[in-house]
Structure 1
């Protein structure tokens, strides 16, 4: 799935999900032209970028040819009620968003995963999506903060918020 269409799909999947207050297209100019900003219960704003690794042989000058397969097996959606003091672990936020995309029912998505759940963890939190056509989407968290707070420096993320 190409970046712009995946961005629209992601916004729609988040907006339709329980526990999501808002979701919209987000970008950081030419540095991160594709991304999503979502506000989830209990009041956490996450902005993640979207980059896509095209399937072998895909030519972006040609019309996109989606490949469908069996939708990903449903995943349990963890709660984000916030632990002690209403704080949310970033790893739980990764799992939550991965489950929302996984469970959105797209026949193009083969599965999702979290960066913190991989054997070789990423340098920042986030999630990934694999597609039946062999392409992949990477969704690193750029900013995570509470509403009304400034986003802070890109990728300078706490372990909980």
Structure 2
């Protein structure tokens, strides 16, 4: 899948995801592709988007995709989102889209230095959505990239 096709697919799936008010494309001079996700609380998350083609050891998936995991709670008891909760929520929402193009979605390892979500695609390629910035409702994102709030 092309980078644009992956971006369009993610936007389509996430726009329908639980606790997500809006999903759209985002880019700047150093990141030509990405997503901005606005949650129902008004908090926002910016991700970069990169893809990697299949390598010789990767094969197109012909077996059925695993069942989508239940979508975990996004907000903590204070109504905030942690990067880990966002990772797990987005991975589950992307698998919950039940699209044949995404065979698996996973949250980066905890504790991740740079949180994000990875995708295995049906054609053997992969996509990566590292988190670039966050902002609580009514706030601006940090000026420095990869400055992720502990809660937003």
SS at match of 2:12: helix
Aligned residue number for residue 108 of structure 1: 101
CA contact (8 A) 1:42 1:80 kept: no
Structure 2 alignment gaps of length 5 or more: none
Aligned residue number for residue 55 of structure 2: 56
Judging changes above 3 Å, is the alpha-carbon distance between structure 1 residues 43 and 79 closer, same or farther for their aligned structure 2 residues?
farther
CA contact (8 A) 1:69 1:108 kept: no
In the alignment, which of 122, 129, 133 is matched to residue 139 of structure 1?
129
TM-score (norm 1): 0.83
* CA distance in structure 2 between the aligned counterparts of 1:49 and 1:94, rounded to whole angstroms: 13
Aligned residue number for residue 24 of structure 1: 24
CA contact (8 A) 2:134 2:148 kept: yes
Query: Quick check: 1:158 aligned with 2:149?
Result: yes
* CA distance in structure 1 between the aligned counterparts of 2:148 and 2:134, rounded to whole angstroms: 7
Judging changes above 3 Å, is the alpha-carbon distance between structure 1 residues 72 and 109 closer, same or farther for their aligned structure 2 residues?
farther
TM-score (norm 2): 0.87
Could you tell me how far 1:81 is from its partner in structure 2? 3.1
Could you tell me how far 1:133 is from its partner in structure 2? 2.1
* CA distance in structure 2 between the aligned counterparts of 1:27 and 1:150, rounded to whole angstroms: 16
Could you tell me how far 1:68 is from its partner in structure 2? 6.2
* CA distance in structure 2 between the aligned counterparts of 1:125 and 1:104, rounded to whole angstroms: 21
Could you tell me how far 1:74 is from its partner in structure 2? 1.1
Aligned residue number for residue 75 of structure 1: 69
Could you tell me how far 1:98 is from its partner in structure 2? 0.7
* CA distance in structure 1 between the aligned counterparts of 2:62 and 2:134, rounded to whole angstroms: 33
Aligned residue number for residue 120 of structure 2: 130
SS at match of 1:111: strand
